[in-house]
Structure formats: C-alpha cells, structure tokens
Structure 1
Amino acid sequence: MHTILPFLLAMIAAIVLLEMLATKLKIAYPILLVVAGLLVSFLPWLPRVTVNPDLIFFIFLPPLLFEAAWSVSFKEMKKWWRIIGSFAFLVVFFTAFSVAIVTHYFIPGFTIALGFLLGGIVSPPDAVSTGAITKFVKISKSTSAILEGESLLNDASSLIIFRFALVAVGTGQFIWQQAATSFLWMVIGGVGVGLFLAWFFVQAHKRLPTDASSDMAFTLIEPYFMYWAAEQLHCSGVLAVVTGGLFMSARRLSFLNSSSRIRSFSVWESFVFILNGIVFLIIGLELPEIVEGLQTMGIPLRTAIGYGVLVTGVLIAARIISSYAAMIATMIFRPGVVPRTRSNIGRFLIPLLLGWTGMRGVVSLAAALAIPITLDNGSPFPERNLILFITFVVILLTLLVQGLTLPYIITRSGLFQGLDGESEESSKQKMKHGLKQHVYQFLKNKYESEPNGNAGLEKILKQWEERAKATDDSWMNGKTKILFVELLEIQRQYLTELNKDPQIDEEIIRNQLYQLDLEEERLKII
C-alpha cells in the first residue's frame, strides 16, 4: 500500500498537469494521457499496473455512464432519436460483424466468436475523447446531440455483443433462441431495474432530511447500486445506469435543492475527470505486459501491429459507410430532420465527419481488460493478449490520427460556420425577455393591491430592473428574502415550460437554471 499510494497520487498529479498542457496546446487531453502512459511504462522502476478483470467494469463504467446521462439533453435525444438509434445499435452491430468477418479471414486461429468479441470491444466510440476534441472547434447543435446521444447508448449495445461473444467462446456454441431471449431480458430488465431504482432514489431524496453533503454522497453510490442490482438479475447494468440517470436528470429540480445541485456538479466534474484520466493512463501503462503476452504466444510484434492497423481501418470504413447510409435513409424517410448546412455539398460531408469522430477509449479498454484470464475449465482464454494488443493499437491510432486531424478538418471545411450562432443568440434573447415578462406579470398580479410605500417591495422592483446599481443589502429582511426565493422558483417553473419548445437549446436553459441556483445560494448568506 505504501508503494502504490505515492504512485496513485503521482498519476492524479500527472493527469492534472497533462490536462493543463493539452488545453494550452488545444488538443484533446486523452491523447496526451495515452502517450504519456506509453512513455512512462518503459521506466523500469515503476510498479507494474495490473487491473482485476472482474472489477474493471464495476469501478469505472457506472459513474462515467451516470454522469453522461445527467449531462446529455434528453430533448435533443428525442429529436434525433432515429439517427442516434441507428448509430447506437445498427452501426455497432454492423461494425462488430465487419470486424468478426475480417479478423476471422485474416488472423490465423481467430474464430468468428473471437471476432465478435473483439468487435464488441472496439465498436463503441468514446464520448470523452470526442468531447475533449470538439471543445476547441465549433460544431452544430444537431451534430453534437447525435454524438452525445450515440455515445450514451452504444456502450450498452457493444457490451451486450461482448457478453454473448464471451459465452460463445467459453462454451464453443451459440444458440440463437436462447440468445434472443437473453437479449430481450437484458434490455427490458436493465431498463426496468434502472427506472425502478431511479424512482426509489428520487423518493428517498425527497422524503429523507438530506442536505447538500448527503445528497452528493447518495448520487455517488446510486449508479454503482443500479449497475450491481441489474447484474445480479443477469440483465444489462449499463442500460440500468443509463435509463436511471436519464430519469433522475429530468427530475433534478424536484428532489435536489440549489446547494445540492451546485456542489454535486463540481464534485462529479472532478470525479469523472480523474476516472477518465486514470483509464487513459492505464491504456499506456498496460502495454509492456500486453507485449510480453504476445511474446509468450510467439506472435511477432510487427505482425500484431499490422492486425491492429487492419482492424482500425475496418472500424473507420464501417463507420463512414454507416454514416452515409443513415444520412440517405433520413433524407428519404424524414427529410425535415436532416441537419442544416450552408450547401448541399456540405450536407454530404457531414456523414464523413461523423464517420471520422469514432475515437475509441474508456469502454473499449474496460471491456478488453474484463476478458477473463482463463476459461471455466481452467485453460487460458484464447488469443486474450492479442485482443488486448489490437485494442490498444486501435485506441492509440484513432486518438492520434483521427483525434489530431478532426479539429483541422472541421475548421478547414467550414461546415458549421454561421449555422448555430444566430439561432443560439436568438434563443438566449427570447428566454431572457420571456423570463423578465413572466416575473413582472407575477409581481403585478400578486402585489398590485399592496399599499404604496412598501420599501422592501419597491427595492425589489428597482433591484430587478437595475441590479448592478444596488449598493447594499440592508433592505433584505425576512419577507423580501422569501419573495426573492419565490421569484427564483417562478423562474425555474417558467424555464421548465420553455424547455418544451423544440426551438430552444436545452443547454441554454440549463445554464440559466444554474445561474438561478447561484443566486439562491447568494441569498442564503446575506
């Protein structure tokens, strides 16, 4: 413990420093983390990093998926559900199938089951990498919504493939009837467990005398409990966490107060950042052990690298082909929801861009490391080290090649210039104007019968119109503070209703709600 603890602290410090450097260089921090992990792994005095396959999913996936579900816009997911669904399920299955066929044909000793196992591992793109890359360039809201929604659901579909492939490799057979029944139970059971536990947690937050600290502690353990409960029932823990997170996210205003929302946001942001950083460092640090495993198998390093390049090419090609197929299908059956561009040529470039966003990362590594070392009969798991090495090469190549070129492609193509700027500003103005009118009408209807000369009320009205001119808070007595809190709640209700407008970006609504939470916290300390 005394040996590992300094190493873990050094890892966290390195993650923070590398993120700062990545921001300064304007590149995605996962790229630097993977390269740094790869470089330091060759230092002889570092302790060997070994992750227990049985714990890798349980440690990393639940909080990462839960946080992603809280961050994604459910309204945008509903708007683009056809494209998101096709990318999250059909494209993942097509990609896994393509990888299975190609590896079975080109890699000696690779069965179809092992090919599907590898395909399930490397098929889901990584949301963290894509988000870290696109924060330095401007993309359209529709493209961002599709990428976020896809990343939230494709983990579940790919891990379902992974689980069935594991069974097929271990037993040597695959019964379609049992697989179909198991698939339905994994999906229906996972969604059901997630919704039930999410409802239970919401009720617990409402009924228990919690404060910000206890609310924050509960939210940290809730995704782990959802995942564990679903897995105990042999259904999808990933779907349980995703659906539960979406359910609770949509009701965050009803069971978390302003203090809980603000503090939880900060804690979760740091927690997820550290988890992601550790995983990307582990990707690099695991390489020496994987290479040693290849040597014991008698596979030349050059040959294994070639296999990794081959699989990477299949992944990129399959995603680009699928992107164009999804765009064409959308133009035929739902032309009204095709993403806007400045020209028809730009419209046909969007699938190419979506195809180029398929960087792999956290989920692929977690799935690869979760492959058991031995089968149930005690024999070594076939081709485990080769699968791990191919996964590493795929992650490294997609991060370096696609990750470093994606910002340049977006900037040079100019696909998204001028598409969302005016509409976003218009949405903000519409929201702010409607908010002022709503609060003014509320004050007028409720306090028009108040006698003139009420200093507190007059101060509130004046401060509402010209907040910047207020010089002191001596007028903030008990009655006026209650009124201010009531006004904040009225604004939240208005924003919740306004969010139903499909033309209003939900991110703008969330930012304004966060500002209201900060205002309420300021009132508490006056």
Structure 2
Amino acid sequence: MATITTVLFLLLAVIISGTTARFTRLPLPLVQIALGAVIALSVVPTVDLKPSIFFLLFLPPLLFLDGWRIPKDDLFRDRVVVLELALGLVVFTVLGVGLLIHYLIPAMPLPVAFALAAILSPTDPIAVSAIARGTPVPKRMMHILEGESLLNDASGLVCMRFAVAAAMTGAFSLREAVGSFLWVAIGGLAIGVAVTWTVTKAKNWIADRLGEDTSTQILISLLIPFGAYLLAEHFECSGILAAVAAGVTMSFTEQSGRAKAITRVQRSAVWDTVQFTLNGVIFVLLGEQMPSIMARAAETVRVTGHHEPWWLAIYVLVITAALGVLRFLWVWTSLRWTIFRAQRRGEQPPAMGWRLVAAMSFAGVRGAITLAGILTVPFALPDGTAFPARNLAIFLAAGVIIVSLVAASIALPRLLKNLELPPQAAQQHAIDIARLAAAESAIQAVEQAQHQMAEGRADADLYTEASARVMELYRQRIDRTQQSDEALADGRKIDLIERQLRLAGLRAERDAIFHLARTRQLDDESSRRLIREIDLQEARYAT
C-alpha cells in the first residue's frame, strides 16, 4: 500500500509541476526536482531507487519513442556531427574530465574518476526542450541534440562499465574493451531491429487473417521496447541501443501504412501520455533522491581530504565548468571541420557564430541517465572492501545535474533568441509534389470506386454526382499546384483562411453537442461519438 501511495504522489507531483512551472516561469525539470525533494522531506514514503529497475521501467519506452519519432532525413543529413558528439565527445570527456577529477581529488582512484566522467558524458535533450519552451529550440539544433542523446547514452554507459570493471579488477585491456564495445553495440542494434521486424511481421500476419484490434496494436507497441531491452541485456548487449534501434525500425515498418487510421490516432495519444508521465516522474524521482544525497555531504567531504562541506560545491562547479569548456571546444572544432569539408567540396560554407557554439555547449545538460548510471556503481570490491569514493561520486554527479540545469535555464533562452542555424533545403517544393501525386492518385481511386459501386444500379447517377463532388476537391488542389508562385501564395493564404473558418465551425459544433448533452437532449454514447468525430477533424485542420 505504501508503494502505491508513493506512486500516486509522484504522478500528482507531475500534474502540479506543469501549472507551477507556468505560474513561476521556472524550467519544468527544476520544478519537478523541487517537488520531488518536498515529497522526500514529507511524510510520504520515499522510493528506494534501484538503478536496474529504473533503467528497465523508464529508459526503453522513452528511447524507443525518440528513435521512432526523430526525423530520419535530418538525422542522416547531420550524421557526421551527431556521431562526433555522441562518440568522439564522450571519449574526449572521459579522458579530460576523468584526469581533472583525479587531479582535484587524489583520493578518488583514476578508474573511479573515469567512471564518473563517463556517466557525466550523456546529455538530456528532454530537459533542454523543457528549459527552452519559452524560446523554441531551432529544429535542426534539436534534432542534432536528440540524435546525440540517442547514442551517447549507450557510449557513456559502456565506458562507465569498462572503468568500473578496471576499478574492480585493477586491470584494463584495450583489446578486450574494444571487442566488448563492438559486441555490446552491434549486438544491441541487431537485436533491436530483429525484435521490431519480427513482431511487426507477426502482428500483420494475424491482422490480415483475423482483423486488426486497435487496443491490441497499441499494447504491442508499448511492449516492443521492453522486449528488445530485456533480450539484449540477456545476451549482455546494450539494452539502450536495442531500444533505440527498435524505435528507428518501427518508424520504417510504419511507412507501409498497414495500421488503421484510428489505431494511429489512438496510439499517438497513448504514447504522448506515456512520454509526458515518464519524463515527469524521472525528474521527480531525481529530486526525491537529493535530500538523502545531501545528508551524506559531511561524511563525503572527508574523502577529499577536507572538512568543510563547501569544498564539495567548489568541486561540482569546477567539474561542470570543465564539461562545458570541453564541449565548447569540441563543438567549435566540429563546426570548423564541417566548414572545411564544405569548402573542399566547393560549396559556400554556412555562417556559424559563437552564439551557436555557446548554445550547443549549454544545451549539454545532464539528467536522469547520469544519476541512475552512477547509482549502479557497486557497493564493494571483490575482496569485500567498500568501493572507493562511491558516495563522493554520487554526490558530484547529482551536483553537476543541478548546476547544469540551472546554468542552461539562465543562458539558453538568451542564446537561443533569434538564433539562426545554417539553412536547410527548402521542403515546400517536395510537399507540393507530394500533394499533387496524392491528389491524382485519389482521383483515380474515386473514379474506380464509383464505377464499382454504381455498376448495375438504378441510382448510378447519384454515385456519379457524389464522386464528382469528391474529385472536384482534388482537382482544385492540382490546379493550384500548377499556378504561378504568386497564385500559389494566394492559394496557400486561401487554404489558411479556409482552415481557420473550418476550425471556428468545428468548435461551434462541439459547443452545441456539449450543450445538448448537458441538457439531456442527447445521450452520452452519441455525444461521445460525435465529439470524437469533431476532434479528429479539428486535429486534421489544426496541424
């Protein structure tokens, strides 16, 4: 009963956090962390955060959804930058920050310092988007951050695993580390692809023979990331990469269009709710751990050779600053390399100012992955002695999370304001071509369906009239795409005006239906059905 009560309070905190963040204008993650700390200091039973359970419950669905929804064309276009950040920057961070931590705190063994630096390397784009919600992050920058996060979670955790193993055994083999990394990475990716592909083929085979059940389809999509994660972990591969690969594969299998429209609409709503809930609970749990971590500060500081707890704050600030400086240098070098390659190809290199580099640097905030990862550090060595500086590493990781969130919440909105990224290729022409092709295909389908439906019927003229009405809408779309640029602009303006008028009409319809339901002139089932139809139409015109 106590566990259920705690879970309900965590969900209540997530609900309250949104309103509180809008009222106080504070970043949502910081509000959720504060509410988690309040829960920890209250009479509500706290959660004993077990990292293995945390990884299983929270990471697979979130990473799966990120892989599913991230724009693949954008990710492929910026693949070099993403890989440089997700792999090269992680290694750069592990070496640079690890040596710095060992220099600052000689009592922390070098392998432990590397382990701490490795788990500090993954970034959290969810926190970035929440922090900068008042000043939207440019799409291309957000896509790069999302792609980086999808991969650096795995690379950072793998590096931490090697460092912890070195601390436990006192030995490190580069050949074994490289071989293990390849097995962990390639195996995880292969398992993620295989699970999604197999499940999709199986459910399509069943749907073709027995029909498609929307609820079952949604539940299957929720279980796929957990299946991929658990299977990969069973074979000692990366469950995180398996979840990511499963999501990316899901996006490709969905392009077949086999699912019903209603399945896609309902599934999208369910996944939006899952994402909102899990993201919120993660930061609330993070805040709930803070009081217990802070309570061990007096004991932890003795490991550093000092007695004043404020030395811990200095270490946190220095490590956070080092992470920012290394990220700034890496991003600047990566962008200069991008410009150099563009010049070698004879292209006009894009303009990239210092604000872009600074924004990318501050956007490297740390989040729940860092805390959950550092909590997986063992309590004892194989000989039974306590793992060296474990509590200190946990304290420093938690402090860096808080400081990076605060720094980003202050700096990012200012840096992102009116920030321009290198231009993307215009997509409007491709969209117009797609609309034209879709309209022509629709006209052919309507004509064919009309002939089949009206064949041999006495009222065939009614089918002809109905098909003419439908095809006229598509012919208008085709006519507009073949006009001049000025006429096209006018056509788009007409579409916008028409959409606004349709939205006004749909909202009036909904108000009328609600009024009829409230006055008992319409039964509940009919009103829900009509409201859903109106909602689906509004969703179509509002996007």
TM band (smaller chain): 0.7 to 0.9
Corresponding residue for residue 59 of structure 2: 61
Structure with the greater alpha carbon radius of gyration: 2
What letter matches 2:317 in structure 1?
V
Distance 1:79 1:27, change over 3 A: farther
Which residue of 129, 135, 148 maps to 1:131?
129
Note the C-alpha offset of 1:361.
Answer: 0.8
Greater shift after overlay, 292-301 or 306-315?
292-301
Q: How many residues align?
A: 465
Note the C-alpha offset of 1:114.
Answer: 0.9
Q: Is 2:117 aligned against 1:119?
A: yes
What letter matches 2:263 in structure 1?
S
Corresponding residue for residue 375 of structure 1: 381
Contact 1:57 1:366 in 2 (8 A): yes
Cα distance per residue 1:464-493 (max 9 Å; x no partner) = 6469xxxxxxxxxxxxxxxxxxxxxxxxxx
Cα distance per residue 1:252-285 (max 9 Å; x no partner) = 1435332322222111211122112111112111
Structure 2 distance, partners of 1:313, 1:338, is: 36
TM-score, structure 2 normalization: 0.78
Note the C-alpha offset of 1:25.
Answer: 5.2
Greater shift after overlay, 135-144 or 206-215?
135-144
Distance 1:520 1:248, change over 3 A: farther
Corresponding residue for residue 90 of structure 2: 92
Cα distance per residue 1:358-409 (max 9 Å; x no partner) = 1111211221222233334433222121111111111111111112331222
Equivalence map 1:283-298=2 (5 Å): 283-298=286-301
Structure 2 distance, partners of 1:100, 1:220, is: 38
Coordinate RMSD, CA, aligned: 3.1
Corresponding residue for residue 10 of structure 2: 11
Structure 2 distance, partners of 1:418, 1:317, is: 23
Contact 2:446 2:471 in 1 (8 A): no
Q: Is 2:303 aligned against 1:303?
A: no
TM-score, structure 1 normalization: 0.80
Note the C-alpha offset of 1:292.
Answer: 3.2
What letter matches 2:241 in structure 1?
L
Note the C-alpha offset of 1:425.
Answer: 6.2
What letter matches 1:258 in structure 2?
A
Cα distance per residue 1:76-132 (max 9 Å; x no partner) = 111110001101110111112111010010013112211111111111110211222
Q: Secondary structure of 1:416's partner?
A: coil
Corresponding residue for residue 238 of structure 1: 240
Distance 1:323 1:212, change over 3 A: same
Structure 1 distance, partners of 2:421, 2:76, is: 25
Greater shift after overlay, 110-119 or 374-383?
374-383
Structure 1 distance, partners of 2:348, 2:59, is: 31
Contact 2:132 2:409 in 1 (8 A): no
Corresponding residue for residue 419 of structure 2: 415
Corresponding residue for residue 390 of structure 1: 396
Distance 1:289 1:447, change over 3 A: same
Equivalence map 1:222-261=2 (5 Å): 222-254=224-256, 255-261=258-264
Corresponding residue for residue 184 of structure 1: 182
Note the C-alpha offset of 1:65.
Answer: 0.7
Greater shift after overlay, 172-181 or 331-340?
331-340
Structure 1 spans left out of the alignment, 5+ residues: 468-516
Corresponding residue for residue 519 of structure 2: none
Identity of aligned residues (%): 26
What letter matches 1:323 in structure 2?
V
What letter matches 2:384 in structure 1?
G
Structure 1 distance, partners of 2:100, 2:166, is: 18
What letter matches 1:64 in structure 2?
L
Equivalence map 1:288-367=2 (5 Å): 288-299=291-302, 300-335=308-343, 344=351, 346-367=352-373
Q: Is 2:77 aligned against 1:79?
A: yes
Greater shift after overlay, 440-449 or 54-63?
440-449
Cα distance per residue 1:132-162 (max 9 Å; x no partner) = 2344324433222212211211111111111
Greater shift after overlay, 28-37 or 104-113?
28-37
Distance 1:271 1:445, change over 3 A: closer
Distance 1:454 1:390, change over 3 A: farther
What letter matches 1:288 in structure 2?
P
Distance 1:195 1:466, change over 3 A: closer
Structure 2 spans left out of the alignment, 5+ residues: 303-307, 475-531, 538-543
Q: Secondary structure of 2:123's partner?
A: coil
Distance 1:304 1:463, change over 3 A: same
Q: Secondary structure of 1:379's partner?
A: coil
What letter matches 1:381 in structure 2?
F
Greater length-normalized contact order (CA 8 Å, ≥ 6 residues apart)? 1
Corresponding residue for residue 478 of structure 1: none
